[in-house]
Chains A and B, each alone.
Chain A
Amino acid sequence: MDGECAGGGRGAGPGGGESGGDARRSRMAILAKARLNELEAACADLDAWPAYRLVRPPETGAVMVRGRISGSGAPFSFGEITVTRCTIALDDATSGATVTGTAYIAGTSTRHAELAAVFDALFQLPGEQGHALAHRITAPLAAAQAKRRRDAARAVAATQVHFFTMARGD
């Protein structure tokens, strides 16, 4: 599945079960890799845009991307990437609980980070509502990402070399 994180096993986060944390990671990856216009469309798909507080307003910074020597060896500092982060909080009307949503998104789009943080919070709403919403919103985003990746891979596959050997003499 496209949205799954490679190289997992670092453990799920606190506040959720093992599978709950992994599900959140997977959804956050989908939100990060979504295009901004797709997220805007997903907003329009909600019944109502929730009221929320900015715990940490969108802020752009950098993360040092690390590589590994020869691809699999000791890590090294490869180069930085711009990242925009945002944290929001919203109150669940039914349970009264406060849910925190967080986003770290490559690039400088404060809008992308804020929308992703809001969705991250909405998806964590207790009970069935968060779960159902997560599925409804992320499934088409993940499908679009998988399709983009598949289409690109099919175009590359057409450039695969098929060697053949000419028999010479008798």
Chain B
Amino acid sequence: MYVAVKGGTRAIDQAHRLLAKARRGDPAVPELGLDQIDHQLGLAVDRVMAEGSLYDRRLAALAIKQAAGDLVEAIFLLRAFRTTLVRFGASVPIDTAAMAVDRRISAAFKDLPGGQLLGATFDYTHRLLDFALAATAPSATERPDQAETPTGGAAAEPLSRVADLLGRDGLIEAAPAPGAAEVGDLTRDPLALPAGRDLRLQALARADEGFLLGLAYSTQRGFGASHPFAGEIRRGTVEVEFEPEELGFPVVIGEIAVTEVDMINQYAGSAETPPQFTRGYGLTFGHGERKAIAMALVDRALRARELGEPVTAPAQDEEFVLIHGDAVEASGFVQHLKLPHYVDFQAELDLLRRLRRDWPATPHGDPVGDPEMAVP
């Protein structure tokens, strides 16, 4: 029996009005502008673009405003908007070697060519609340110095990669060469397992930062240990080139900020390959260092099978990681439990009553199935 229940329309309408009011808050407080969100909450914008998988600072700022700061909700809004867009095509792969870096560090080499460039970072801050920022008057911030000589990509030659230094002696594996297969895109074709590394990286780039962070941490604590070093972390802007059909040559369409992590891991070698370092890769839109490091660790963990390592931990399990890492999918399924399950629950209740009536005569009744699967 299926009973349609109506009557929520008016309540829903009022709930939405109340939401709009709650979002706006005290009208005596000035309303937030998108520029303010973009410029003063820029890392939130970065995260929404990364997990929303759409680079557009203004739209991400709008999503954050509309979601009243709930970033997973904002990510959902951006993903939904994205489905309305015509796909013009795919870009020429970005060239991160040519990045105009605003931060570049290596935890493996102290004296790397081009140097360690800290850039703007929370590292080395004392994590003490700065009450000067609470003042409504413009705070007097110390102007950062400008070095005489620019560096980090604005110099004549781009910064060389740490991996290239190791690669000269064959101490580290080369980046995988492009294959004949078409580049995968899980927004076009549903993800099928086992997935190639291209699809895994796409899924990880869109995945929830918290989920990846926890998984990455688990690999460090021994659940699929891989002994990583941060070979190189670089952050900055790269040009995006696209080749329109009608032009027949690629044109720069703009610049995007990205964070890239090349993680170095131990590898004992095999019959075919001498011992050498292996690599995990992390790449995010905007400034997303924590996410990019976590992504690189999980990318490496997911290569267990390829490298002949035992698959024992969750972070090495492709299905576990790729199917559960998407914030929009996960939050959709977890939160659908809020929706009316009146009929399902009624069925459960009836079953329970029957079991109790017969108890203890037949203590092992039929196992209760998933209410989702039970058609009322």
Contact = CB atoms under 8 A, between A and B. Distances in A.
A93 to B, nearest CB: 25
Interface string B29-69: 00000000000000000000110011110110000000000
B256 A81 contact: yes
Contact of A154 (B92, B119, B147, B249): B147
Contact of A60 (B85, B240, B254, B279): B85
Given A85-B244, A158-B145, A149 B100 contact: yes
A77 B202 contact: yes
Contact of B90 (A66, A152, A157): A66
A170 B98 CA distance: 46
Interface in B147-199: 147-155, 161, 163, 174-179, 183-187, 197-199
B242 A83 contact: yes
Of B85, B155, B197, B253, most A-chain CB atoms within 10 Å: B253
B77 interface: no
B321 interface: no
A115 B16 CA distance: 40
Chain A contact residues: over half helix, strand or loop, or mixed? mixed
Interface string B82-125: 10011111111111111011110000001100011111100000
B119 A25 contact: no
A70 B206 contact: no
A59 B87 CA distance: 11
Interface of A: 5-7, 10-14, 21, 25, 28-29, 32-33, 59-83, 85, 87, 102, 104-108, 149-161, 163
Given A5-B239, A61-B85, A68-B94, 7 more contacts: A63-B91, A70-B163, A81-B256, A105-B253, A155-B146, A159-B103, A160-B118
Across the A-B interface, the 4 shortest Cβ-Cβ residue pairs: A106-B254, A73-B175, A153-B154, A153-B150
